[in-house]
Amino acid sequence: MCGIAGYIGKNQAAPIILDGLSRLEYRGYDSAGIAVFDGERIRMAKAAGRLSVLKELTDNGRALPGCCGIGHTRWATHGRPCDENAHPHMNRENTIAVVHNGIIENYRKLREKLERKGYVFSSETDTEVLAHMLTEYYRGDPVEAIEKVLHRVEGSYALGILFLDHPHHIYAARRDSPLVVGVSGEEKFIASDVPALLEHTRTVYYMENEEIATLSAGNIRFYSLDGELLSKKPVTVEWDISAAQKGGYAHFMLKEIHEQPSALRDTIFPRLKDRRIDLDDLGLSEEKIRRLRRISIVACGSAYHAAVVGKYVLEALARIPVETDLASEYRYRCPICEPDSLVIIVSQSGETADSLAALRDAKARGSRILAIVNVVGSSIAREADCVFYTGAGPEISVATTKAYSCQLAAFYMLAAEFARVRGAIGADRFCGLLAALKRLPAQVRELLGCQEKIQFLANRYLAADHIFFMGRGIDYAISLEGSLKLKEISYIHSEAYAAGELKHGTISLIEEQTPVVAVATSDRLYPKTLSNIVEVKTRGAMVLALTTPGHEDLARTADYVLFVPETEPLFMGSLSIIPLQLFAYYVSLGRGLDVDKPRNLAKSVTVE
């Protein structure tokens, strides 16, 4: 959601900024803009639509010469997507330019005040108030003006600012929206996310909340909102540039689906030690694990679906009561946080606004917070008491695949270790789980071999208007994710149902040729799910079923059957999700859609 890129150095800024913005496209946006200091004035270009429109408008940046600039991709919140509302926003005198990610919540009040003072607005955005407020408070010292403005705004922001009076500087600030500063000798960068910088540097400073940065070719300084000079250490990012490139794949999504075996290996293997799962870095002593009385798992989107799997696995193995919540609901429902309970926040980006707010709410109620996060140094990772990092590496496609898979693996490991420590399972069972964990990456690799068959099947569903997914237990949790994957990138209406619940409403929607995807991998629940498949078949549904070897009889009922290899039943979701990810990918591809950047969606949802 909204991307910021800025550059100062010896090279032309605009092409570097446009390139940085293109690496942030995955965040989701609907307009883009750029401002560059050309030696005399700040020149700006902005346009609704894809970045290609802005690139054309600026002759790939060549029309905006200069070595210092800022750029932005906007995901509309306040004001529709159009040229005027695109960032940067400038003051009337064209001496201050601002790009902003986040929401200024008290912008109406601020705007009215400014209008009373004679400021004229040219957009409907909340951001424009910042350009005029900076004008109001600027007396020659940009940092002082920024401090004064930020003390008066409510809400979230990551900011990049240019002042004409200080032409060889970029000013930056953040609160609750991510911003990183990159350094490569005399060249300095700002960006919403690390992939925008990887081409140039792996040395970054993560900006903390309520920090201001000044960047010039010579140096970088960080200040608190009270003007105090701060000392910060740079961090070397482990990800390399190839991780943020397509590497020969047609889409990031396909590449990331294929990266799952290595992502799983990187998540699982470092924790397997001497017949135990090493959770020492989480600071959860065996005593604390034994005392746990309840776990709440809170997340959004696919991370929430991983949480639903987590609930089944944790309850089954560790015998601890688990509740799951959507972060947007949890944060407003006055949850009960008892002593000896643990709140687990799951998030790929570590920046999702609702998940972060839920974390803060739970923390304020005295809960201990464990975060399962992919992005190192992200807000959720920093604010949690302890972090289980997933090893997915950068995920660019809006539709998550490898990060979700790694979240499942994180839950398996937590559940198995909690179960061992609490004595809920014996040594043999624990060893069996470890062995199953070790086998998972290779099994996923094997499954990826069914790609062509899935493409063939997916092509039969291209014209569908509605699709229903169903399953029981973990198969239901996987159906939720399979259905979301499909709807977000194919724009086909899709719903997932607990198979036993179909009869309570949804079955009335089943008619001749209604497509149904049935997940039936659980031996224990197979006869029950089979009955539900028969029920929809009887009403004319066209059924694609997923099952495990041994259930060949399903071919007599379903129209198409896909077999996934067997594993530990509680870990089956890691295998059954693979064909469903590929199915969604090929349906989207077959419908000619933008697989990696589906309409209206953002990778990192940093607003409520």
569-605: burial string, b at 16+ Cβ within 10 Å, e else = bbbbbbbbbbbbbbbbbbbbbbbeeebbbbeebbbbb
Is residue 605 close enough to count as binding ligand G6P by CB under 6 A?
yes
- Beta-strand ranges (E) seen in 77-152 are 89-90, 96-101
Query: Can you tell me the distance from the alpha carbon of 316 to that of 181, in angstroms, rounded to the nearest whole number?
Result: 44
Shortest CB 400 distance to ligand G6P, Å:
4
Of the candidates 55, 141, 41, 124, which has an alpha carbon nearest to the alpha carbon of residue 87? 124
Contact string 264-303 vs ligand G6P (x = CB under 6 A): ------------------------------------xxxx
Shortest CB 532 distance to ligand G6P, Å:
27
Q: What is the dihedral of CA 299, 302, 307, 309, to 10 degrees?
A: 170
Among 53, 217, 509, 601, binds ligand G6P (CB under 6 A): 601
Cα separation values, 467 from 121, 482, 515, Å: 46, 11, 5
Query: Can you tell me the distance from the alpha carbon of 556 to that of 172, in angstroms, rounded to the nearest whole number?
Result: 63
Among 352, 479, 494, 581, binds ligand G6P (CB under 6 A): 352
Is 386 annotated in the active site?
no
Is residue 398 close enough to count as binding ligand G6P by CB under 6 A?
yes
Query: Can you tell me the distance from the alpha carbon of 342 to that of 320, in angstroms, rounded to the nearest whole number?
Result: 11
Q: Which residue is nearest to ligand G6P (CB)?
A: 301
Contacting range for ligand G6P; rule: CB under 6 A; set: 49-57, 330-338, 342-350, 541-549: 342-350
- Beta-strand ranges (E) seen in 38-130 are 42-48, 68-74, 89-90, 96-101
What are the respective helix, strand and coil percentages of the chain, to the nearest 5?
A: 40, 25, 35
- Beta-strand ranges (E) seen in 282-408 are 294-299, 322-326, 341-347, 368-373, 386-389
Shortest CB 503 distance to ligand G6P, Å:
30
How many CA atoms lie less than 13 Å away from 328 in the CB half-sphere?
A: 9
Among 355, 405, 490, 521, binds ligand G6P (CB under 6 A): 355
Is residue 393 close enough to count as binding ligand G6P by CB under 6 A?
no
DSSP state of 207: P
Contacting range for ligand G6P; rule: CB under 6 A; set: 347-355, 524-532, 553-561, 587-595: 347-355
CB closer to ligand G6P out of 554 and 605: 605
Size of the site for ligand G6P (CB under 6 A): 15
For the segment 153-212, give every residue that binds ligand G6P (CB under 6 A). none
Question: Which of 2, 68, 300, 406 is flagged as catalytic?
Answer: 2
CB closer to ligand G6P out of 322 and 605: 605
Do 7 and 44 touch, CB atoms closer than 8 A? no
Contacting range for ligand G6P; rule: CB under 6 A; set: 5-13, 84-92, 113-121, 346-354: 346-354
Question: Which of 46, 55, 255, 603 is flagged as catalytic?
Answer: 603
Is 334 annotated in the active site?
no
Query: Can you tell me the distance from the alpha carbon of 550 to that of 573, in angstroms, rounded to the nearest whole number?
Result: 18
Among 91, 127, 201, 348, binds ligand G6P (CB under 6 A): 348
Which amino acid would we find at residue 483? Answer: S
Shortest CB 527 distance to ligand G6P, Å:
33
For the segment 298-337, give every residue that binds ligand G6P (CB under 6 A). 300-303
Tell me which residues touch ligand G6P (CB under 6 A). Answer: 300-303, 347-349, 352, 355, 398, 400, 601, 603-605
Annotated active-site positions, please? 2, 603
